[in-house]
């Protein structure tokens, strides 16, 4: 470490991205410090399901699942289309299996390959997650790994601004005091918690309730613009079509993927649920304040394997009826409408008719008695646009040159979920770029620090 620096790598943000970067950098032999503006680390990573895709991982091979980065790239681009950060899609796919193997085998994270479902955007089971499907468990593991290494982590320390000298980042101002660092990583998440920035970049979802982490207020975008960084995919975001109301927990999309449907107060469907939990959010938002998820006991039993769903159910979030009409009555929606909807949907699921909205994935449907119903509302979870980065997670200027000493990852960096809207998000995209770019940034920062000695 140079005599005029406080630390080799200053990590701003203590979500999965920042924690992974700190661990990777420390294990590569440099000094690291983490600052977090909130009193509690974790950010959106803690609120997620902790799911990370790993294409071609050894856990897939052990389960007899054939997969590859090429297949994952094709899957992701089929959902997102081409976008500003296309090379990042390839990089993340190639890094995905080494990433989950590093987490599980290298560090000891309590995760496993999830084979019960593929989830949105993936043609084979490739998500690796805690058995609980709680991101908090993954964050807790990462925090333990940080503590075990003695890496300083200061919570309740918001960063005021970056220190920039002759176009190069040289640290940050924290609580009015300069903290000099050879390298700086922005791991501050996105801007979904800033109404101003959401209105500016993602106006179609600006009216939705925000259900993500409180700290996602867009500092990385503001600082990036000041240092002349390029921005990408700024109109892209992850929505969630079904937040259980009034419980406030995410209704597991397993309930829909396994064959459930979403209806309005009239008991009628209003679109194709195959769009996924993010892509379908604007459709739910457009039809009214609330919607209702309808599925059956078999699907409920699968979802009960997930702790958040089980807690929601235990709080009385699921109402039941032996017929669609009774379920509708229990939920206070139109009985005749739901009866007709279930009859038409079951006919399509059974192969007797084409689905009116073009749905082709029915899984356990036709639905059978008893019928469960949950009141839900759509929401904004996190944004997917941010600072453009290269394959070393270095922040780029519009001409493609890196901003010296500045790295970004996770929600601070441009994501891989399309140029605009919610339809380009595939399950695990957020954590993949958080952990993947965090690890890459930590390794590259260490390499650059060592080379400068």
Query: What digits encode the pLDDT tens for the residues 138-158?
Result: 999 999 999 999 999 999 999
Look at residue 116 in the predicted model and tell me its pLDDT: 82
Cα-based torsion angle of the residue sequence 121, 125, 130, 131 in order, rounded to the nearest 10 degrees: 120
- The pLDDT value given to residue 156: 96
pTM of the model: 0.90
> CB–CB of 185/9 below 8 Å?
yes
Q: How confident is the model at residue 4 (pLDDT cuts 50, 70, 90)?
A: low
Task: Quote the distance between the C-alpha of residue 183 and its chain's center.
Answer: 26
Distance CA 251, CA 260 (A): 12
Q: Cβ-count burial of 332 within 10 angstroms (0-12 exposed, 13-18 middle, 19+ buried)? A: exposed
Alpha-carbon distance of 132 to 220, in angstroms, equals: 31
Which residues 6+ apart lie within 8 Å of 196 measured at CB?
Answer: none
**Cα Rg, the chain, nearest whole Å:** 22
**pLDDT-derived band at 119, boundaries 50, 70, 90:** confident
Residue whose structure tokens are 């927990």: 249
Average per-residue pLDDT for the chain: 95
| C-beta neighbour count of 285 within 10 angstroms | 22
* Number of C-beta neighbours around residue 71 at 10 A: 17
Could you tell me how many helices (H) and strands (E) the chain has, helices first?
Answer: 16, 20
Give tens-digit pLDDT for 188-245. Answer: 999 999 999 999 999 989 988 999 998 999 999 999 999 999 999 999 999 999 999 9
Q: Contact 448/169 with Cβ under 8 angstroms?
A: no
> Cβ(106)–Cβ(46) under 8 Å?
no
pLDDT in tens, 293-344: 999 999 999 999 889 999 999 999 999 999 999 999 999 999 999 999 999 9
| Cα angle 156-161-167, degrees, rounded to a multiple of 5 | 145
Element (H, E) at 374: strand 371-383
Token duo for residue 404? 């010296």
Going by C-alpha positions, the residue among 156, 138, 201 that lies closest to residue 421 is 201
Which string of DSSP letters, residue by residue, matches 298-321? HHHHHHTTSHHHHHHHHTT--EEE
| Helix orientation angle between 69-80 and 86-101, rounded to the nearest 10 degrees | 130
Which H or E run includes 327?
Answer: helix 324-331
Please check whether residue 410 is in contact with residue 439, taking contact to mean a CB–CB distance below 8 angstroms.
no
Q: Where are the beta strands (DSSP E) in 13-102?
A: 32-35, 52-53
Helix ranges (DSSP H) in 251-294: 254-257, 276-279, 281-287
Residue 246: is the preceding peptide bond cis (ω within 30°)? yes
Of the candidates 123, 125, 127, the one whose C-alpha atom is nearest the C-alpha of residue 50 is: 127
**In which band, very low, low, confident or very high, does the pLDDT at 389 lie, cut at 50, 70 and 90?**
very high
**Distance in angstroms (rounded) separating the CA atoms of residues 410 and 19:** 11
Phi and psi for 293 in degrees, rounded to 5?
-90, 135
Question: How many other C-beta atoms can be found within 10 angstroms of the C-beta atom of residue 371?
Answer: 25
Which residues pair with residue 240 across a beta bridge? Answer: 379
What confidence tens digit (pLDDT) does each residue in 282-294 have? 999 988 889 999 9
Does the pLDDT of residue 357 top 60, yes or no?
Answer: yes
- Taken in order of first residue, the domains within the chain and their CATH numbers are 7-192+385-452 (3.50.50.60), 238-380 (3.90.700.10)
Query: What does the angle CA 215 – CA 216 – CA 222 come to, to the nearest 5 degrees?
Result: 115
């Amino acid at each position: 470490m140079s005599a005029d620096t406080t630390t080799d790598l200053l990590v701003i943000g203590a979500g999965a991205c920042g924690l992974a970067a700190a661990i990777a950098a420390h294990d590569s032999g440099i000094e690291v410090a983490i600052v977090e503006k909130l009193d509690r680390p974790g950010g959106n990573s803690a609120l997620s399901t902790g799911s990370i895709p790993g294409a071609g991982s050894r856990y897939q091979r052990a389960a007899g699942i054939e997969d590859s980065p090429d297949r994952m790239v094709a899957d992701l681009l089929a959902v997102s289309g081409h976008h500003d950060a296309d090379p990042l899609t390839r990089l993340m796919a190639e890094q995905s299996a080494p990433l989950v193997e590093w987490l599980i085998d290298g560090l000891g994270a309590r995760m496993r390959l999830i084979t019960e479902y593929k989830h949105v955007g993936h043609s084979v089971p490739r998500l690796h997650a805690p058995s609980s499907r709680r991101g908090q468990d993954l964050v807790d593991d990462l925090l333990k790994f940080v503590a075990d290494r003695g890496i300083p982590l200061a919570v309740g320390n918001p960063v005021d601004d970056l220190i920039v000298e002759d176009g190069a980042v040289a640290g940050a101002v924290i609580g009015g005091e300069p903290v000099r660092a050879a390298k700086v990583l922005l791991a501050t998440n996105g801007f979904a918690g800033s109404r101003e920035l959401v209105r500016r970049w993602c106006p179609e979802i600006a009216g939705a309730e925000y259900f993500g982490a409180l700290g996602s207020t867009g500092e990385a975008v503001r600082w990036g613009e000041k240092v002349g960084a390029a921005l990408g995919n700024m109109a892209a975001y992850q929505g969630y079509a079904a937040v259980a109301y009034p419980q406030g927990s995410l209704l597991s999309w397993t309930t829909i993927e396994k064959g459930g449907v979403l209806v309005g107060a009239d008991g009628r469907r209003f679109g194709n649920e195959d769009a996924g939990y993010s892509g379908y959010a604007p459709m739910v938002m457009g039809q009214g304040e609330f919607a209702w998820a309808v599925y059956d006991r078999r699907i409920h039993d699968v979802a009960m394997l997930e702790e958040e769903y089980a807690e929601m159910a235990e709080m009385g979030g699921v109402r039941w009826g032996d017929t669609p009409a009774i379920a509708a009555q229990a939920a206070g929606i139109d009985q005749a409408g739901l009866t007709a909807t279930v009859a038409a949907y079951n006919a399509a699921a059974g192969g007797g008719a084409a689905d009116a909205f073009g749905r082709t994935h029915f899984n356990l449907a036709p639905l059978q008695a008893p019928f469960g119903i949950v009141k839900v509302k759509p929401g904004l979870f996190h944004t997917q646009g941010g600072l453009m980065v290269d394959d070393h997670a270095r922040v780029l200027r519009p001409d493609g040159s890196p901003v010296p000493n500045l790295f970004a990852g996770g929600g601070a960096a441009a994501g891989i979920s399309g140029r605009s809207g919610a339809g380009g998000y595939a399950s695990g995209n957020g954590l993949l770029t958080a952990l993947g770019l965090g690890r890459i940034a930590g390794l590259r920062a260490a390499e650059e620090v060592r080379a400068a000695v």
